[in-house]
Structure formats: structure tokens, C-alpha cells
């Protein structure tokens, strides 16, 4: 049974082999799926196939960023992803304590560079190199990074600084649309391909706030103005003015609807970049006002009409070429827009001025049709190149900060990606040469420098073979003979250059280079260079002329005669230029060629990069068609091989990505010695690279080495392994090695050390917390005891004061009561004594009275003797209950105590409510004559209590209330 796999048929045997390989891969990869591996160094094993599968799995899960050691791999999604580049996402990565633990993102690189600037670790200046093929997303990545820095690096402290920061941020962000409109174009591989290189320098002050920026450009592809490949377009700005101009502007710029221009191919294609209003608004924010914009667009419209100027072959070589009928109107319109004399424009395009002889005699010669087209194209390229450079100057003047106001910078390098077209010329050679230099910088900085550092530190390290492109660079720029030197030499010869002759010279002079290939099947003269990204065939036809980039002086003089306000700025009349145009033949210095200028600017850029801490973002294009959710393994594989990503992963996985100096290592991990007691000096360390026989002569260095060895002896306790000589002899390569000046470790060992350090810090924190809590408890106990003593003393004092007041009050009451009782008793006895005396005096002293009979006398005595009993019985409770009542009865009746139990008293008649008087017989009405008591509260009836003593007045007052005796 056959099954289709990747476009090829395979048998069941092949299917079983694939399934077996997948099972092994699943076993090696562990339980985590491939799309969850955010670092390619964690892929096991690290091969092109496994890396491809991991990237494809993450791409299909809409995860477009993956770490690869020190490099961030960015896959172009080819679709808008909501929230992936939002300001909230920027703030999340900026506010994270450890952004590396978040998902890989370009904001991780941006935040790392920003924190490196704040840490002031040398070199303080940072640079981000964004590389990749055309269409991989380099421009978009640079744009997002600029937005990120504009958000996180503008934290003003005052309102004035806030306004300044907002203005700088807006201008930096608005420089992108202008630069892309004038410098980007639609190519076969990318709709928004950068046709120039730029290095954006974001300037920061001492407070790490963005104060300005500067833009440096490299090698604008100005030939695109007059020559576009099939299915490609001119620069975006030409399409923007043709599609976005208003009716009034169309009349002013002579751009009627439906007009066609030979330098404006494929105008029917609608791209996202064809947004004229965005470009105009950005130019306004950069300080380019509306009249200046109008002048710029007039010049661009004049160049479009200049492209429609076509010449016809002249029958007589001595006569200038004639214009076609359609071209006459175009010449008139172009001259009007550029404000040039029409006759002078035609004359300059059709007639060449030659200076010869020592006297510099001037000869005028009519140009052929090809020469006329070349001069026309040269005029357009010259104007557009000057206009582009002027825009860069305007942008820099708008966003550049005073040198005294900034101290550090973060550089963003966005260069054209590696290009290989069917027809490649000088532009592609320079572009690929720049990519070779950047790849060499990456190799020198990371791959080669890392392994050389291992060897310098004395580590046991097996070198990984990586692709070194120094041979290719020697072929292009080497000394004394290289491709660039041969092309420059052809430019200096006083003879016409031949394409076949140049090919022969290159092949014969550089035949020994392994990076020089041959294509014998090609009919056109060409040579092949084997770049790090693959072989590219360059045509030699027109190579020397493009390198010369000749600008006839009469073209410059023509533009200096323009009355256009912008062209007078672009082409000022300088008397020094006239003197330099007429040097003697012997003292004339050779003119700088395009290759020489580009090489000088590239070397200057590399010097800047070498003085910074570089960071790398590798942009990968999943497919050439720009389709989302489409991952072509063949295309991605070629890009991975070209950028040296596999070698980077190998070295990062097998080497030691983390290196710390001895001093810093000791300062951070010296506290690990608390985990276990110090080992003996004879204890062998299995993790050290080798025994250092030579001890440093300085005592401090010796102490540092001793402390370092003590920490390294603790590593077996951290890893859980036994440190014996046998184990150390048979152990695998150690995850930590001690070099001469640094300690090298893997991520695993770093995690172990950090965990051990965390344990020690937790122990110390617990000890500190215990001591502090004990101190707090003791302090609280002392405070509680003091409070208790104070409270006891206060309460004792308050109680004593209260008791004293009670004693005083009781004494006063006691004295008053005794006084009142005595007085009442005295008054009562006095009243009773007076009543008895009066009664007896009336009974015995009156002569008219007759003596009472004995029975009445005895009855009267009994009444007098028994009156207390009547009062008691009248106010007592019902019945004869109660011990006190019985005692009163016995006392009044004078009964013997022995017979008190058997005696009974009939008190039925006395249990009546009210008070019985003691002054008369218990018949009739009773009236009391009470005097007012001298006491203040004597007439008040207090509330009776069980323990109180009933007084005489109380008995008299409470006549309606029964009292229990």
C-alpha cells in the first residue's frame, strides 16, 4: 500500500520507519509537546529536522517567536494578530520582574536591552540586529521595537517633560511612514521591501528617558526610479500621489485620472502601503509643512513625466535625437513642474559636453538614443537620491537631540535581506555583501568568540564546527585582489569596460577561491559567488557603469538653474564645485565608486556595532507566497542553514551560556557554604575543569580561590550525587566548570545554585524572623506586665478612695441615725410619760371623780402593758408565725418560756389594717398628733430592706403596709 508523504510516495516499510523515528523522537522529547518548547536548545536531539518540526508546530499554534540561545527566531505570521503588539502587552513585558520567563517575544529583547542600559554594565550602548530574507518581517519588527521604546522609555516627571517626550515619541514613530514611503517598494518576495538600509539610534539621557533619535541610511536603490523588474513596482510614494491626490492637486501636479507612466508599472495593484494621507500627516508631524510637501510632490510628478520622454533614432549621428510625438507634451510638463527651461532640458539630455586637452577645450557631441535614455535616467536618479537624503536630514533635524542631553543609545539595524533574483547586478552584490558582513559579525561575536573564550579559560571543550564565511568575505572585499577591487580597477581604466572581459578577469584572478563558482551554461557574462545563504549568479553587463555612477556635470548645472524652491535647496550653486570640476589631468583624484562608498559606510556601521552589546533577531519567512498558516519546510530549512542558526543552537546547548567572574560568583553564592560544613582540603572536586597547580601570588586571589573551591564542593549536595574519586573520574561532562577568571555553567546548574541560594536565604530569613518575633514577644510581655502593675495600682487606689468615701458616708449616716433614734425615743417616752401623768392625775387628783372599780383599773393596766403587742399584731403578717412575733407575745403577756410552745394567742381581732393608738382604749377613732421631725429626711419613707431596722416613725407612717416581724 502506497501513501503520499510530502509529495512523494512511500511504501508501508517507509511508513513503519517514519513511525519508529517518531516514537524515538517522542521518547527523546519527553512529555512536553513540541509547540510548548519555547527554546530550540531544549529540543532533543538538536537537528535540522527537530528544529523544523518545533518551529512548524509553534507556527501552527499561532506562536511566532522562539528562542535559540542568544537569538530570537521570528516567524512572519502574514496576518494581523490581535493583541500581540498592543500597548498592554508592552507594559506587561516592561513591568515583569523576569521577562525571560514570559513567552518569547520581540518585547523581551527590547526590555532586555533597556534594562542593560539602566544597569550601566559595559558596554552600556545596545544594538539590535534584525536580519533575514526579504519579506521575513524585518521592517515590521523594527517598527514594533520603536513603538515599544516610545512607550517604556518616555516616563516624564513633569508636565513640560511630558510634552517633550510625547513630541519626540510622535516624531520617531512618524519617521517610519515617511522613510517607508520613499524607500520601500514592492518586489517579487515582499510587498513592502526596504530598498535601503537604516540604522536608527534611539538616544537616552541619564534617567533612561528617550530624548531623541538619529537615522543613518545605506545604499538607496535609486535605480528603481527608472528601472523596475517584471512584476515589481516603483517606490510607494509615486503610487500614493497618483491614487491619493485630490482633484485640485491632480490639476496642479498634471496627474489626471487614467494617465499612464512608463516608470509606474502595475498601478492596478492595491497595497496597504498606498495610503497617502498617512504619509502627509507624518510629514506634518516632522515639521514639513504643506507648501513644502506640495513642492516635493511636484518634483515627483515631474520625474514621472520625465520617464515618458522617449527618443527616436537619428538618421544623422551628428544631429541630436528627436522626440516622439507623445514625448513632446511630457517634456513640456516635466520642465514646467521642475521649473526648468524646456530647451535647456532637451539640450542637456541630447547633447554631451566633452572637455579635452590641457586647455580643457569644450566639445559638444550629439548623444545616441541609448545615451539619451541613460542621461534621462541619470537625471531622475540624481534628483530622487538628493531628495531622499534631504528627507533624512529633515527627519534627523526634527528628532535629533543635543549631544549634551543624551549619554547612551539603543541601535536598531534594519538592512535589506539576502537577495537572489534571476538577474542580479551591483545592487544585489552590495546587499549580499552587507549580509555577509553582518553574519561574520554574528559569528565573531557569538560562535567563534564563545569557543575561543572556553579555550582561553582552560576549559575541557570540544569545538563545534560552524560555517565560517570569512572565505566569502575575502573573495568580495579581500586584499590585494577581490571582486570589489577588480570592479573598481575597471572603473579607473581609460577604456570602455567589457562584460566578458570583466568576467574573465574575475575568474582568472580569483580562481583559487572556493567560494567562486562557474556557470558554463549561461549565455550572458556572469560569475557565481557561493554565499553563506547559497550561490548567487551576478551579471557583469552594466556592473562597471553602475559602480561608476557617473553624473554628467551638465546635469548638475541644469538642476542648479531651476527656479523651483526645493531644487535650489537640493542643488545649491557652490563655486567650489566649479573649481573641482576642472582639475588638471595629472592631479585629478579618482572619484569614489558606489562600492567604495558602501564599503566605507559598512565598516563605520560595524565599528559602532562592535562597541555595543549586540542582540540578534532572525526573521524567517514561512513561505514565499505570503500565505498565513502555510509552512514550507524546504524554504525554512534553507533560511535556517543560511543564517547559521543550527550551529548557534548546537553551541548553546552543548556549551555554557552563562559565565560569571570569580568575584561576582563569590559575592552571590558564598552563602551556600551554610548548607553543609566545610569539606576537607583533600576532598576532590569533580566539577572543576582541572586542578590549578599555580596559585596566584596575591593573598586576596588565593583566598578567593579557596572560597570558590569550598562552594564548588557543595555542588554534589545540590545535585544529590556522591562526590567520590571514582565517580569524578567516570562522570559525564560537568554542568559547571571553573576557568581561570570566570565560572562557566549551564542553565541547569544555574537553577540548582539559585535554588540552594534561595534555601539559605529562607533559612536566614527564618532565623531573623524568629529572633524578631522573640524580641517582639519579650517586649510585649514586659509591656503587659507593666500595664498590669499600673492597672493594679490604679485599681487599688480607686478602691481605697471608694472605701474611704463609703466609710465616711456610713459614719455620717450612723451618727445621724443614732441621733435621730435617740431623739425619737426621747420624744416618744416624753409623750408617753406626759399622757400617763395626765391620766392618773385626772383619775386620782380630781375631788369630784369617783375611784374606778378594781376591774377597770386592772383592765387599764393591761392595756398600758399590752400596747406594744397590739402594734406588732396589727402590722404583722397573717397568723402567728415567726420567731420574733412569738418573743413579743411572750414578753407582753409575761408567759413562761417553758410553756411558750404550747401557748397560743388569739390575734384575730388584732390582724386589722391600720395603726392602733397607745394613748387610749382601742375603741373609737384614733388621731395622731405628730410633730415634724428635726431631721431633713425623717418624714420620708425609705425603701425597706430585709437587713434594715424598723424605726418608730416608719411604723407610724406605713400603716397600710404589712410589716413582717
Known binding positions for ATP: 132-139
- Burial (Cβ within 10 Å: 0-12, 13-18, ≥19) of residue 750: middle
Could you give the 3-state DSSP secondary structure of residue 206?
Answer: coil
**DSSP-assigned letters across all residues of 521-582:** T-SS-EEEEEETTEEEEEE-TTHHHHHH----HHHHHHHHT---HHHHHHS---HHHHHHTS
- 472: exposed, middle or buried (Cβ count in 10 Å: 0-12, 13-18, 19+): buried
Q: Is the peptide bond before 45 cis (omega within 30 degrees of 0)?
A: yes
The DSSP element (H or E) to which 277 belongs, if any, is helix 276-285
Helices within 845-894 (DSSP H only) = 854-875, 883-893
Contact 129, 417 (CB under 8 A): no
Task: Give the closest residue to 264 by CA, choosing from 293, 297, 246, 241.
Answer: 241
> Could you give the CA distance from residue 118 to residue 97 in angstroms, rounded to a whole number?
14
Contact 876, 882 (CB under 8 A): yes
Question: Cα–Cα distance between 662 and 833 in angstroms, integer?
Answer: 123
- What is the C-alpha separation between 449 and 829, in angstroms, rounded? 132
**Euclidean distance between CA atoms 54 and 36, whole angstroms:** 9
Strand partners, 5: 8
498, 465, 487, 467: which is closest to 549 by C-alpha? 487
| Burial (CB count within 10 angstroms: exposed 0-12, middle 13-18, buried 19+), residue 901 | exposed
Instruction: Give the Cα separation of 531 and 188 in Å (integer).
Output: 21
The alpha carbon torsion through 918, 919, 925, 926 (nearest 10 deg) reads -70
* DSSP-assigned beta bridge partners for residue 365: 352
Comparing CA positions, the residue from 492, 549, 455, 343 lying closest to residue 742 is 455
Task: Answer for the pair 129, 442: CB distance below 8 angstroms, yes or no.
Answer: yes
Instruction: Please tell me the distance from the alpha carbon of residue 931 to that of residue 908, in angstroms, as a whole number.
Output: 32
Apex 613 CA angle, 610 and 615, nearest 5: 105
Report the binding-site residues.
132-139
Share of the chain residues as helix, strand and coil, in percent rounded to the nearest 5: 55, 10, 35
Question: Is residue 75 within 8 Å of residue 55, measured between CB atoms?
Answer: yes
Q: Look at residues 560, 582, 579, 586 and name the one whose alpha carbon lies nearest to residue 361.
A: 582
H or E element: which one contains 129? strand 126-132
Amino acid at each position: 500500500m502506497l501513501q503520499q508523504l510530502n509529495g512523494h510516495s512511500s511504501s508501508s516499510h517507509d511508513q513503519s520507519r517514519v513511525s519508529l523515528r517518531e516514537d524515538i523522537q517522542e521518547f527523546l522529547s519527553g512529555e512536553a509537546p513540541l509547540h510548548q518548547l519555547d527554546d530550540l536548545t531544549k529540543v532533543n536531539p538538536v537537528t535540522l529536522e527537530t528544529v523544523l518540526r518545533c518551529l512548524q508546530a509553534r507556527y501552527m499554534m499561532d506562536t511566532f517567536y522562539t528562542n535559540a540561545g542568544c537569538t530570537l527566531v521570528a516567524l512572519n505570521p502574514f496576518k494581523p494578530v490581535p493583541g500581540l503588539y498592543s500597548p498592554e502587552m508592552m507594559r506587561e513585558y516592561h513591568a515583569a520582574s523576569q521577562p525571560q520567563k514570559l513567552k518569547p517575544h520581540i518585547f523581551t529583547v527590547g526590555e532586555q536591552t533597556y534594562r542593560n542600559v539602566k544597569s550601566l554594565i559595559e558596554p552600556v550602548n545596545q544594538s539590535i540586529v534584525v536580519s533575514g530574507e526579504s519579506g521575513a518581517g524585518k521592517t515590521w519588527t523594527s517598527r514594533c521595537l520603536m513603538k515599544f521604546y516610545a512607550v517604556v522609555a518616555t516616563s516624564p516627571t513633569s508636565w513640560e517633560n511630558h510634552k517633550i517626550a510625547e513630541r519626540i515619541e510622535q516624531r520617531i514613530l512618524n519617521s517610519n511612514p515617511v522613510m517607508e514611503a520613499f524607500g520601500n517598494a514592492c518586489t517579487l518576495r515582499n510587498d513592502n521591501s526596504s530598498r535601503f538600509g537604516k540604522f536608527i539610534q534611539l538616544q537616552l539621557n541619564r534617567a533612561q528617558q528617550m530624548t531623541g533619535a538619529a537615522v543613518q541610511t545605506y545604499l538607496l536603490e535609486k535605480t528603481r526610479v527608472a528601472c523596475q523588474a517584471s512584476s515589481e513596482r516603483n517606490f510607494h510614494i509615486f503610487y500614493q500621489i497618483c491614487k491619493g491626490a485630490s482633484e485640485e492637486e491632480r490639476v496642479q501636479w498634471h496627474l489626471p485620472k487614467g494617465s499612464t507612466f512608463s516608470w509606474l508599472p502595475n498601478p492596478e495593484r492595491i497595497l496597504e502601503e498606498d495610503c497617502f494621507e498617512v504619509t502627509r500627516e507624518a510629514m506634518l508631524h516632522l515639521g514639513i509643512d504643506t507648501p513644502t510637501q506640495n513642492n516635493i510632490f511636484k518634483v515627483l510628478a515631474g520625474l514621472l513625466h520625465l520617464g515618458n520622454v522617449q527618443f527616436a533614432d537619428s538618421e544623422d549621428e551628428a544631429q541630436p535625437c528627436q522626440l516622439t510625438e507623445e514625448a513632446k507634451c511630457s517634456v513640456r510638463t516635466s520642465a514646467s513642474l521642475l521649473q526648468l527651461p524646456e530647451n535647456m532640458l532637451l539640450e542637456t539630455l541630447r547633447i554631451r559636453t566633452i572637455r579635452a586637452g590641457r586647455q580643457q577645450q569644450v566639445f559638444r557631441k550629439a548623444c545616441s538614443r541609448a545615451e539619451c535614455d541613460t542621461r534621462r535616467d541619470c537625471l531622475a536618479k540624481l534628483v530622487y537620491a538628493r531628495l531622499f537624503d534631504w528627507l533624512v536630514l529633515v527627519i534627523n533635524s526634527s528628532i535629533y537631540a543635543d549631544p549634551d542631553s543624551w549619554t547612551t543609545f539603543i541601535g536598531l539595524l534594519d538592512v535589506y535581506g539576502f537577495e537572489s533574483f534571476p538577474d542580479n547586478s551591483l545592487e544585489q552584490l552590495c546587499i549580499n555583501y552587507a549580509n555577509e558582513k553582518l553574519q561574520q559579525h554574528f559569528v565573531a561575536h557569538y560562535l567563534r568568540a564563545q569557543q575561543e573564550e572556553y579555550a582561553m579559560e582552560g576549559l575541557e571543550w570540544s569545538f563545534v564546527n560552524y560555517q565560517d564565511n570569512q572565505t566569502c568575505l575575502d573573495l568580495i572585499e579581500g586584499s590585494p585582489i577581490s571582486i570589489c577591487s577588480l570592479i573598481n580597477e575597471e572603473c579607473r581604466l581609460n577604456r570602455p569596460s567589457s562584460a566578458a572581459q570583466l568576467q574573465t578577469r574575475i575568474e582568472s584572478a580569483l580562481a583559487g577561491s572556493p567560494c567562486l563558482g562557474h556557470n558554463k551554461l549561461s549565455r550572458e557574462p556572469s560569475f557565481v559567488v557561493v554565499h553563506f545563504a547559497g550561490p548567487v549568479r551576478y551579471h557583469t553587463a552594466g556592473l562597471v557603469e553602475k559602480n561608476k555612477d557617473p553624473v554628467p556635470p551638465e546635469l548638475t548645472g541644469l538642476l542648479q538653474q531651476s527656479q523651483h524652491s526645493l531644487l535650489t535647496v537640493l542643488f545649491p550653486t557652490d563655486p567650489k564645485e566649479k573649481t573641482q570640476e576642472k582639475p588638471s589631468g595629472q592631479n585629478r583624484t579618482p572619484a569614489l565608486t558606489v562600492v567604495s562608498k558602501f564599503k566605507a559606510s559598512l565598516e563605520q556601521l560595524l565599528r559602532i556595532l562592535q562597541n555595543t552589546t549586540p542582540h540578534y533577531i532572525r526573521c524567517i519567512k514561512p513561505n514565499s507566497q505570503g500565505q498565513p498558516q502555510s509552512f514550507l519546510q524546504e524554504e525554512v530549512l534553507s533560511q535556517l542553514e543560511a543564517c547559521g542558526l543550527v550551529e548557534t543552537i548546537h553551541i548553546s546547548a552543548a556549551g555554557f551560556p552563562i559565565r560569571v567572574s570569580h568575584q561576582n560568583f563569590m559575592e552571590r553564592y558564598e552563602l551556600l557554604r551554610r548548607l553543609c560544613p566545610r569539606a576537607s582540603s583533600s576532598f576532590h572536586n569533580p566539577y572543576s575543569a582541572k586542578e590549578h597547580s599555580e596559585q596566584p601570588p596575591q593573598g586576596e586571589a588565593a583566598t578567593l580561590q579557596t572560597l570558590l573551591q569550598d562552594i564548588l564542593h557543595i555542588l554534589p549536595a545540590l545535585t544529590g550525587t556522591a562526590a567520590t574519586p571514582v565517580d569524578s573520574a567516570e562522570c559525564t561532562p560537568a554542568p559547571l566548570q571553573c576557568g581561570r577568571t570566570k565560572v562557566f555553567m549551564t542553565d541547569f546548574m544555574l537553577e540548582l545554585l539559585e535554588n540552594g541560594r534561595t534555601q539559605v536565604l529562607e533559612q536566614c530569613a527564618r532565623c531573623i524572623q524568629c529572633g524578631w518575633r522573640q524580641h517582639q514577644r519579650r517586649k510585649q510581655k514586659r509591656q503587659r506586665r507593666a500595664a498590669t502593675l499600673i492597672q493594679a495600682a490604679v485599681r487599688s487606689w480607686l478602691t481605697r478612695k471608694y472605701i474611704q468615701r463609703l466609710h465616711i458616708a456610713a459614719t455620717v449616716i450612723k451618727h445621724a441615725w443614732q441621733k435621730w433614734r435617740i431623739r425619737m425615743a426621747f420624744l416618744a417616752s416624753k409623750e408617753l410619760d406626759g399622757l400617763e401623768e395626765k391620766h392618773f392625775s385626772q383619775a386620782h387628783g380630781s375631788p369630784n371623780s369617783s375611784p374606778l372599780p378594781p376591774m377597770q383599773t386592772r383592765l387599764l393596766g393591761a392595756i398600758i402593758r399590752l400596747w406594744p403587742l397590739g402594734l406588732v399584731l396589727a402590722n404583722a403578717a397573717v397568723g402567728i408565725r415567726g420567731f420574733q412575733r412569738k418573743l413579743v407575745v411572750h414578753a407582753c403577756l409575761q408567759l413562761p418560756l417553758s410553756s411558750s410552745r404550747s401557748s397560743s394567742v388569739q390575734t384575730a381581732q388584732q390582724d386589722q389594717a391600720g395603726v392602733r393608738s397607745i394613748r387610749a382604749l382601742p375603741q373609737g377613732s384614733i388621731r395622731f398628733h405628730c410633730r415634724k421631725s428635726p431631721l431633713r429626711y425623717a418624714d420620708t419613707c425609705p425603701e425597706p430592706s430585709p437587713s434594715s431596722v424598723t424605726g418608730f416613725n416608719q411604723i407610724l407612717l406605713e400603716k397600710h403596709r404589712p410589716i413582717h416581724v
